[in-house]
Amino acid sequence: MSLDRWQMKYLTAAVLLAPVSPALYLQGRYARWRIGVLPPAGGPNTGVINDSSNDAEPVSLLVIGESTVAGLGARDHERALTGQFARHLSRHIGRPVEWHVVGKSGVTTRRTIDELLPQVPERRFDYALVGLGGNDVLKLSSPKKFRRDMTEFLGLLHERTSRPVTFLSNCPMIGMSTSIPQPIKGILWELSKTHDANVRELTAGMERVFYYPQPRELKLEGFFADGVHPSEKGYADWAEAMMEYFAANHEW
């Protein structure tokens, strides 16, 4: 089973890196200090976007997750991931989209279950976009823990929101970061690629759940706000790429 192989790879790496882990920890702390912390997007956490010519009743979209969902790097949610994805969804389905965002910087999948899911209204949503994985990489969640937490999260999310069509954004493109130094950049990038494969395998057999895999290429010009989080242009490009992928590869 792939999960057992990924777990063994993770444990082997942990043993091999143990002698230098104090130095890696200090490098990580320095990188975090140098990058700083961006504020979350301002403005309301709900809204309606209509990028179609249709004035029908809006469909509903829930967006939930970590810092990219909280909108770090954007002035407001309409310019961040939520608004940009809602705009492309509206354009694709030809309907207005009523969006609702629940995001918090720094949350893992486990913390999202404990802290963010209780904030989600218990109502029917037509669509959901999940932005998680980045902090599971940064907190070094093992493949088995990540799989277990993501499975539980998706089950609870669907119970609370009446099984919407669910899109998952890719695990972070740490290898493309312009701010994270080596060698921790390479170490985290390997774990991110493992989590990416993990989620792809997990969601492959799920109905109405679609994952956007890590893209092979990323247009870096203007993409990052701080070398880690997207800028407003980055959010727009990312949302467009995701919608193009979902429309081309899945029926929903």
Write the CATH number for 80.
3.40.50.1110
Q: What is the mean pLDDT of the chain?
A: 94
pLDDT at 1: 63
pLDDT at 85: 99
Structure letter (DSSP) for residue 105? T
The first and second tokens of residue 230, run together, are: 């997207």
Exposed e or buried b per residue across 141-166, where buried means at least 16 C-beta atoms within 10 angstroms of its C-beta: bbbebbbebbeebbeebbebbeebbb
Judged against a pLDDT cut of 90, whether residue 103 lies above it is answered with: yes
User: Could you list the residue range(s) of the whole structural domain that residue 71 is in?
Assistant: 2-249
Tens digits of per-residue pLDDT, 7-16? 999 999 999 9
Tens digits of per-residue pLDDT, 171-228? 999 999 988 989 999 999 999 999 999 999 999 989 999 999 999 887 888 999 988 8
Number of Cβ atoms within 10 Å of the Cβ of 100: 21
Cα 215 to chain centroid distance, Å, stands at 13
pTM > 0.85: yes or no: yes
Tens digits of per-residue pLDDT, 21-53? 888 888 888 777 777 789 999 999 999 999 888
* Count: domains in the chain: 1
Top-confidence residue, 212 or 1: 212
The first and second tokens of residue 109, run together, are: 């999948």
Phi, psi at 48, each rounded to 5°: -130, 135
